[in-house]
Amino acid sequence: MTLEQLRAQLAELSVRADGLIAGITDDTAAEHRAQIDQEHQGVLREITETRRQITAAEDAARTITMPVTADIAAAVTTAIAGERGRVASLRQLGRQFQVADDFVERHIADGTDETGFGRAVLDHLAQHSERSAIFAHVQAGAQDEVDQRRAGMSAAIAARLARASGQRNVEVPAHARAWAERELVEIAAECVGWHGPVRTPRQVAQMFERAFHTTSDFPGIFTDAMNVTLLARYQVAAPSYRRWAARYGATDFRVQNVIRAGDFPSLQAVNEAGEIKNGTFSESKEQFIVNPYAVMLRISRQMIVNDQLGAISQVLGSAGDRVGDWENGIAYSRLAEGSGAGPVLLTDTKRVFHTDHGNLAGTAAAIGITSVGIGRASMMKQTTLDGIKANFIPATLLVGPDKLTEAEQLLTSITPAQPSNAVPEAMRRLVPVGDSNISGNAWYLFADPNAAPCFVYGYLEGFEGPRLSSEDVFDVQGMKVKLEHDFGVAAIDYRGGFRNAGA
């Protein structure tokens, strides 16, 4: 098959898989459900094989035989690096949003860029906002009529905020359609039980003052809608620290011991008497803590009275992006401790990157086949807590702005004239990641954080993102809201990383 035919086949299989899942309802018989699930698993296997064929075809299409001109080489280098970055970013966003692989792969095959993919995810979140259970104000599925009305009004405002931010084809949930085309002041009026006309600017201002100052549900409804928008924009943000740190949860604000089990005990021979010996686990304790953060914001009175949802959406979008940047700064400040060697581990009182750990280059070297190869070999030679060879493979080459181009050039698919200069295919699978929080020439290798994390980040359980809460204030200055966020970053191990000071 051609690459275009393979992509078309992948799209058809994805639609078929989605259709099978959609066919399962609460009333589906167990026997029929099992049959659908079996068929769905078969389709997923076909999707996996088709993706493998697409990857092979894309690699073949990208391969260029030297000699080529410098201009062509530069253009190919840029294009390939950009494509690798696009695919990696979309897959990272997909994992972050916890969306189906089919959704991500469909956009990868269609050539969707990061901005377009972000908009597609925002549309998806807006369409399914009624399923969110993060904020206490939105009670999807509540039977009480008041709660249903409140959830519908909040979802309607959230959909309008999404449209005001430039998103297209935003679907309003069924329970929110009664309020989809109403202005804010009309929703506020219904919340206070007002049924007359609201025409003049004075009447509009007075209606909002009544809605915010009385015991009406409007402040909570409006805050819920803003929270949906803020969370969606926050989730679209893709700070680079999530490429090399694993997610971890915390149930409270106390210091928690992160226990990493060494291995399942090794198998041992059973003697003639049938005795099975007891195995033991090795353990390594490191600490992790989530801290609370907050800041006060104001949504101006003019924005609310004038029904300027576009301006409010822009404020919330800026807040969501800013929180992601702020998290990024905290994570990289931890990485930069000890002049880039990372925090001190409690297990052995040595920094994450240390010569005794076998993950710190003895000689600073520029990014190249030899230097990266040394780092890769060092990671593969690491042993687990019980002394078993781990064979950790680096997945990310992390650099600062000054070394990003150098990293991208190393990891292209161009075939050199001299075989001795060839970059191994396995090494080209590394994803170059650049971040301005890294200064100078230093570079790092990190394994997939889900397999061998050196650092973890996390939130307070139940609050996996920034959130807004309103105060009972609506005056000349506007509406006062509090932005809160619970977040933490900690180092827990050294085996899944490697550092070189660079040159």
Instruction: Tell me the sheet residues that pair with 398.
Output: 433, 444
Listed in sequence order, the residues at least 6 apart from 357 whose beta carbon sits closer than 8 Å to its beta carbon are 350, 494, 495
pLDDT at 413 over 60: no
Instruction: Provide the angle, in degrees to the nearest 10, between the axes of the packed helices 70-97 and 30-62.
Output: 160
Rounded CA separation 471/211 (Å) = 13
Q: How far apart are CA 467 and CA 459, in angstroms?
A: 12
Radius of gyration of the chain (CA): 27
In this predicted structure, what is the pLDDT of residue 317?
A: 77
* Residue 68: Cβ-neighbour burial (10 angstroms; 0-12, 13-18, 19+): middle
Task: Please give the model's pTM, rounded to 2 decimal places.
Answer: 0.64
Selected residue with higher pLDDT from 239 and 300: 239
Assign residue 193 a region (left: φ > 0; alpha: ψ between -120 and 50; beta: otherwise): left
In this structure, what are the phi and psi dihedrals at residue 84, rounded to the nearest 5 degrees? -60, -45
> How is residue 75 written in tokens?
């253009």
Q: How confident is the model at residue 479 (pLDDT cuts 50, 70, 90)?
A: confident
Average pLDDT over the chain reads 81
Tell me which residue has tokens 């018989």.
29
Structure confidence at residue 130 (pLDDT): 40
- DSSP symbols for 329-348: HHHHHHHTTTTTT-PBPTTT
Q: Give the pLDDT score at 131.
A: 40
pLDDT at residue number 382: 94
The DSSP H or E segment spanning 480 is strand 478-491
SS3 485: strand
% of the chain residues with pLDDT over 70: 83
Q: What is the pLDDT of residue 472?
A: 56
Residue 455's contacts (CB-CB under 8 Å, 6 or more residues apart) are 241, 244, 245, 246, 331, 334, 335, 352, 449, 489, 490, 491, 492
Is residue 91 scored above 90 in pLDDT?
no
Q: How confident is the model at residue 136 (pLDDT cuts 50, 70, 90)?
A: very low
% of the chain beyond a pLDDT of 90: 30
DSSP run (H or E) holding 210? helix 201-213
- Hey, how many other C-beta atoms are within 10 angstroms of the C-beta on 327? 23
List of residues 6+ apart from 342 with CB closer than 8 A? 334, 335, 351, 352, 353, 454, 491, 494, 499
Sign of CA dihedral 170, 172, 177, 179: negative
| Secondary structure element (H or E) that encloses residue 247, with its range | strand 245-250
Burial class (CB in 10 A: 0-12, 13-18, 19+), 73: middle
**CB under 8 A, 24+ apart: contacts of 362-365:** 364/441, 364/500, 364/501, 364/502, 364/503, 365/500, 365/502, 365/503
Choosing among 1.10.3470.10, 1.10.3720.10, 3.90.1690.10, 1.10.8.60, the CATH entry for 240-263+282-503 is 3.90.1690.10
342-399 tens-digit pLDDT: 999 998 999 999 999 999 999 999 999 999 999 999 999 999 877 888 899 999 999 9
**pLDDT beyond 70 at 444:** yes
Which of the pair, 353 or 309, is modelled with greater confidence? 353
Q: Are 427 and 372 in contact (CB under 8 A)?
A: yes
- Domains of the chain, by residue range, sit at 3-61+75-112, 131-235, 240-263+282-503
Q: Is the pLDDT of residue 419 over 60?
A: no
pLDDT of residue 61: 65
Summarised one tens digit per residue, pLDDT across range 111-134 is 887 777 776 776 665 555 444 333
Residue 310: its pLDDT value, please?
81
Residues in the chain: 503
